[in-house]
């Protein structure tokens, strides 16, 4: 639903996919703000936009949605933080905020949970959130445009999403290569900046390789990272230098990426 301060609250919660055991869990907070009267409701309407904006700007905040429901005195709260440290930093900032000072009479009914991401295939409702994830992960729109172009051309052969309660926090794509036998290119691989270095990227690569089956997979990326997943230097003819491969293609054979890569 759309909340009174202009934000979208996702419901019901998506719990589909296979869990990824990260080195540290994420923290979620769900619950309600309960206003006693119209005065408190008007105060919430005044204070919440800045509180939401400040919370979303925190580096460890992945989601911060507050939604006004059918009863205008009751607001749903949906928060996701990268880990315990990020959640604690949010609490410290909030404790010294105007929101905390001026909303202390509003009732709270919160429940906190530790969660792990889930991995599943992309769904149509993921597309806009994947755009935002890719843009944030790479610091610009190029990779988001690439995935949109692959999808539009029918070349997004495999699109794997890591999500937390429906919010994409990681993504990997496979697109077909023109090669001596059926093969795929792995690109891009994205992990939310607040979750990098905790094993999610490795889990996404393994999911992509499983989806590829017996087909070789070619990638251009950090040899140290992809080497741990079984990739090795590729001796192939390509417009890209430094390719690595999982599986096998004939030595020095030509490979051509999907047309969308020409836009990078």
CATH number at residue 232: 3.40.630.30
Asked if residue 164 and residue 227 are part of one domain, the reply reads yes
Domain assignment present for 84: yes
Domain assignment present for 8: no
Neighbours of 253 (CB within 10 A): 15
Domain assignment present for 7: no
- Residue 41 belongs to domain spanning: 18-115
Banded model confidence at residue 3, pLDDT cuts 50, 70, 90:
very low
The domain total for the chain is 2
Q: Please say which residue of 115, 141, 167 terminates a domain.
A: 115
Is residue 8 scored above 70 in pLDDT?
Answer: no
Banded model confidence at residue 264, pLDDT cuts 50, 70, 90:
confident
Query: How many Å is the Cα radius of gyration of the chain?
Result: 22
Asked if residue 109 and residue 137 are part of one domain, the reply reads no
Q: Name the residue among 226, 215, 214, 224 with its Cα closest to residue 172.
A: 226
Asked if residue 139 and residue 37 are part of one domain, the reply reads no
Predicted pLDDT at 114: 97
Domain assignment present for 129: yes
Domain assignment present for 13: no
Q: Which residues neighbour 55 within 8 Å (Cβ) at sequence distance 6 or greater?
A: 61, 64, 79, 90, 94
Q: Which residues neighbour 221 within 8 Å (Cβ) at sequence distance 6 or greater?
A: 187, 189, 244
Asked if residue 223 and residue 132 are part of one domain, the reply reads yes
Asked if residue 26 and residue 55 are part of one domain, the reply reads yes
Q: Determine whether 23 is exposed, middle or buried from the number of CB atoms within 10 Å of its CB (0-12, 13-18, 19+).
A: exposed
Predicted pLDDT at 9: 42
Asked if residue 241 and residue 126 are part of one domain, the reply reads yes
Asked if residue 175 and residue 87 are part of one domain, the reply reads no
Mean pLDDT score, 194-206: 97
Residues 158, 208: contact at Cβ < 8 Å? yes
Predicted structure pTM score: 0.90
Banded model confidence at residue 12, pLDDT cuts 50, 70, 90:
low
Mean pLDDT score, 187-193: 98
Asked if residue 142 and residue 95 are part of one domain, the reply reads no
Please provide the average confidence, as pLDDT, over all residues in the chain.
94
Q: Please write the tens of the pLDDT for every residue from 40-85.
A: 999 999 999 999 999 999 999 999 999 998 999 999 999 999 999 9
Asked if residue 107 and residue 165 are part of one domain, the reply reads no
Asked if residue 153 and residue 58 are part of one domain, the reply reads no
Asked if residue 129 and residue 219 are part of one domain, the reply reads yes
């Amino acid at each position: 639903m759309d909340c009174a301060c202009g934000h979208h609250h996702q419901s019901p919660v998506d719990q589909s996919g296979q869990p990824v055991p990260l080195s540290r869990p994420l923290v979620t907070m769900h619950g309600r703000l309960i206003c006693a009267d119209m005065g408190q409701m008007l105060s919430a309407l005044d204070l919440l936009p800045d509180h939401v904006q400040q919370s979303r700007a925190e580096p460890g905040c992945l989601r911060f949605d507050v939604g006004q429901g059918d009863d205008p005195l009751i607001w749903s709260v949906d928060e996701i933080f990268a880990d315990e440290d990020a959640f604690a930093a949010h609490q410290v900032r909030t404790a010294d905020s105007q929101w905390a000072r001026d909303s202390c009479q509003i009732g709270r009914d919160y429940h906190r949970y530790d969660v792990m991401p889930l991995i599943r295939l992309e769904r149509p409702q993921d597309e806009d959130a994947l755009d935002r994830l890719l843009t944030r992960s790479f610091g610009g729109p190029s990779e988001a445009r690439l995935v949109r172009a692959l999808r539009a051309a029918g070349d997004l052969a495999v699109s794997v999403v890591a999500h937390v309660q429906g919010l994409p926090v990681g993504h990997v794509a496979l697109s077909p290569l023109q090669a001596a036998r059926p093969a795929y290119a792995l690109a891009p691989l994205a992990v939310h900046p607040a979750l990098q270095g905790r094993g999610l990227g490795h889990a996404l690569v393994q999911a992509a390789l499983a989806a590829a089956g017996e087909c070789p997979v070619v990638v251009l990326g950090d040899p140290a990272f992809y080497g741990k997943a079984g990739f090795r230097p590729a001796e192939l003819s390509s417009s890209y230098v430094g390719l690595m491969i999982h599986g096998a293609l004939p030595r020095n054979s030509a490979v051509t990426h999907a047309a969308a890569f020409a836009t990078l």
